[in-house]
Homo-oligomer: A and B are copies of this chain.
Amino acid sequence: MSLIVQKYGGSSVANPERIRNVAKRIIETQRAGNRVVAVVSAMAGVTNHLIDLAKEVSVPLTPSEREMDVLLSTGEQTTIALTAMALQSLGAEAASLTGAQAGIETDGLHTKARISNISPDSVHELLNAGKIVILAGFQGKTSYGDITTLGRGGSDLTAIAMAAALDADLCQIYTDVDGVYTCDPRVVSNARKIDVISYDELLEMASSGSKVMQSRSVEFAKKFGVIFEVRSSLNHHPGTLVKEETMSMESIVIRGVSLERAQAKVTISGVSDVPGTASVIFGAVGNANLIVDMIVQNVSKTGITDISFTVHKDEVSKAVDALRPVLAELGDDVNLEATEGIAKLSVVGIGMRSHSGVAAEMFKSLSDAGINIQMISTSEIKVAVIVAEEDIDRAANVVHETFGLSKI
C-alpha cells in the first residue's frame, strides 16, 4: 500500500462545498489503495481577515510576530477540523492534526520559521489505525512550545517536508492549474503542459515568474529527494511530475519559457570601478529589504562603469530612495536613472548544459522579430533577457516557437 501526501491550497478549501469536494478526492485516493495524509491551507480569505483584525487591535503599531503566528495558525486549524468532519460525514475515518501535534518543529523565527525537525509519531499512529490524516499546513512549533508559521508557500513546504519525514511514495500539490506549462497559456495559446521537469528547472522557472510554487519548497524537495506532482484540484488530469534530473531529460534542450512583467531597471552610471562599489549599492538596496533580480555590470574601459539591476516596479521608488544617500561614495560624477515598462523573458532547460547555441538562437529569433534586448543574464540552465514590456507577449511566442515547445 502506497503512502501519498496531498496538499490542497486555500482556494480548494474556500467554502464548505469545496471542502466536501476535497474530501471526495481524498477518499478516491484512499479507495485506490493508498494511505493518505492531506495537508490543507486556510480557507481563501481567512488569513486576510485575520490580518485585518490584527491591524485593528494593534494601532498604531505592527502586531508582534509571535502573536501573529498564534492568530494566523487558527486559519489552518479551522480547515483541518472541517475537512476531517467532511470526510467522516462521507463515511471515511479521519482525524486532524495541527502542525504542533504532527511534530513539526521549527526555529523561533516567527512568521517565517524554518522546519528544523519532524517527529511524526502521531501521524504514524493515526495511519496505522486506518485513518486519513488531515494536517494543518503552514505551521509548526518551537522546541519550547511556541506556535510558529512558515511564511509564504508554507503549506507546500509542510506537505513536502512531511512526505520526506514519512518517506511517502508520492507528494501531490493540488492547485488551480493543471501543472507546469511550457509557457503561460494566456500568453502562448499552444503552450503545453510539461509531464516531467527537474527540480532545478522548476526553480529557474519559478525565479523567472512561473510561480506555481515557492522556491523554498522546491529546494526542500530537491534536498530530500521528494518526488512531487503539481496538479489541478478541479479535474482528474495528470499533472507535472517534479523530480531529480535523469539522463533522458537532457534530450529536451529547453523545458519552458517564463515571463515576468512589471519590472523596472535602475542604472547607476559613472561609477568608479574600484573594489567595494557593488557592495555599497547592493548593501543599501538590501538594507531597504528590496529583492533585486537581474544585475548587470558593464566591463570598465576607463575606470568608470555602469551598474544596472532590475526590481519589481512597485519597489523602484524605494530603491532610488535607498541609493541616493550613498551615491557620493560611488564616484564624482555618478548618475542614477530608473526606467519602468520592462519585462523579463527566460528560457530554462537542463539540456542547455550539453547543447551550445541556445542563447544565440534565442537572441536571433528576437532580433528577427524586431524586439530589442535591453539586458541579458544567464545561468547554467537559463537565459534571461529584459525587453520592453509591450514586446513581452510577442517575444514569448517567438521564443516558444523557436524552440518547438508546443510539440514533443
Q: Which residues of A contact B (CB under 8 A)?
A: 16, 19-20, 23, 50, 53-54, 56-61, 63-64, 66-68, 70-71, 73-74, 77-78, 80-86, 88-89, 95-96, 98, 101, 122, 145-147
Contact = CB atoms under 8 A, between A and B. Distances in A.
B78 A50 contact: yes
Q: Which of A60, A71, A145 has the most CB of B within 10 A?
A: A71
Contact of A71 (B64, B78, B89): B78
Contacts of A95: 66-67
Contact of A74 (B23, B78, B85, B101): B78
A86 B55 CA distance: 9
Given A16-B57, A95-B66, A82 B88 contact: no
B101 A145 contact: yes
29 contacts: A16-B57, A23-B57, A54-B81, A54-B85, A57-B85, A57-B86, A58-B85, A58-B88, A58-B89, A59-B89, A63-B85, A63-B88, A63-B89, A67-B81, A67-B96, A68-B85, A70-B77, A70-B96, A70-B98, A71-B77, A71-B81, A71-B82, A71-B85, A74-B74, A74-B78, A98-B147, A101-B145, A101-B147, A122-B145
B16 A56 contact: yes
A257 to B, nearest CB: 41
Q: Which are the 9 A-B pairs with shortest beta-carbon distances?
A: A71-B81, A16-B56, A74-B74, A70-B81, A57-B86, A61-B89, A63-B85, A58-B89, A67-B81
Contacts of A57: 16, 19-20, 23, 82-83, 85-86, 89
A146 to B, nearest CB: 8
Contacts of A68: 81, 85
Contacts of A66: 95
A348 B36 CA distance: 59
A90 to B, nearest CB: 9
A52 to B, nearest CB: 9
Contact of A84 (B67, B77, B85): B67
A282 to B, nearest CB: 34
A46 to B, nearest CB: 10
A214 B333 CA distance: 78
